[in-house]
Amino acid sequence: MLDRLAQHADTRVSMPAVKTLIIDQQQRSLREMAEQPPRATLAPAQHAAPPGSPERAIHDAANSTSLPGKLVRAEGARDSGDPAVDEAYAHLGSTYKLFWNVYKRHSIDAHGLPLVGTVHYGEDYENAFWNGAQMVFGDGDGQVFNRFTIAVDIIGHELTHGVIDTEAALLYQGQSGALNESLCDVFGALVKQYSLGQTARQADWLVGQGLFTPKVKARALRSMAEPGTAYDDPVLGKDPQPAHMSAYVDTPRDNGGVHINSGIPNRAFYLAATALDGNAWNGAGRVWYDTLCDKRLRHDADFKAFAAMTVQVAGEKHEAAVRHAVEAAWKAVGVLP
């Protein structure tokens, strides 16, 4: 998407995308240099809050790229009056609540890691990311993108990268990379549904709703229910995500299409969750979480290996109906025969 925007004739659209791509490449290189072995633990928190309580700190980069920036809201402080600051604080809390209340996971590393965020990062920066230690949010360009703190599922998505780093450490390339992205969408969606009190069938299954300005013909960044339908816009192009293995995209770009092919496991999760109804974080969500944390899951797992393990975990820890729903979902998207 950013590659396409960077080639646009209107510099108000292209320049923010170009600057964002440069920053993203720099951040990706830094993360790869500091990459830890599979299942390595993050550095222990120096001032971890007691289990059940998050420890949040929101900073303001003042449109620079220096991190973390000036502390503007610490844990327990009142609203700052800055929407980006207060959204980041609230949504970090919502993500913590899902992982603690449902899975009894004490923050990203399971040991109370403080949740640090920086807002107003860069000039017209069109992204949000987890850099291995903290969250970072851009303000968008106002033409295509709104501020990146606006969607709770985006924050849930990015923080889940930290959970994955601590657990399976899925390689960010090809199918394991697409699984990495899909798991982040799954738990981002669950954060959203949990905060809204929605069942699987009540949810819209849209990721990043609200990120685009009204000028853009888009519902969201991605649709887990209908991959490939989130946007169709003259500037953005059409959503390229496949919903079935028959449309799998082989490409050297985007680390082997990690943001594109994630649509396939995304739809599998949606199908499993809605087949079971109720709250997605309990049935299918519990299976996906247990699989992510299972020591048998290899860091280079492909779709088929991950699917087989979810079926196995569902059979070991859940009723027959859960296992059936999970297996049927993976068959429906062509991952399992």
The set of catalytic residues is: 158, 259
Q: Which residue has the tokens 């609540």?
A: 97
Angle at 133 between CA 286 and CA 307, to 5 degrees: 30
14 to 11, 29, 128, 217: CA distances (angstroms)? 5, 23, 18, 18
Name residue, tokens 């888009």: 218
Peptide bond into 68 cis (omega under 30): yes
Q: Which helix (H) or strand (E) holds 232?
A: strand 232-233
Instruction: Return the closest-CA partner of residue 84 out of 145, 137, 10.
Output: 137
Q: Tokens for 140, please give them.
A: 């968008």
SS3 212: strand
User: 95 CB contacts (<8 Å, ≥6 apart)?
Assistant: 115, 152, 155, 156, 159, 191
**CA-to-CA distance for 218 and 206, rounded, in angstroms?**
11
| 124 φψ region: left (φ > 0), alpha (ψ -120 to 50), beta (else) | left
Helix 152-166 vs helix 83-103: crossing angle, to nearest 10: 50
The β-bridge partners of 103 are none
Q: Largest Cα–Cα distance of the chain, in whole Å?
A: 56
User: In the beta sheet, which residues pair with residue 73?
Assistant: 58
Taking the CA atoms of the chain, what radius of gyration do you get in angstroms?
19
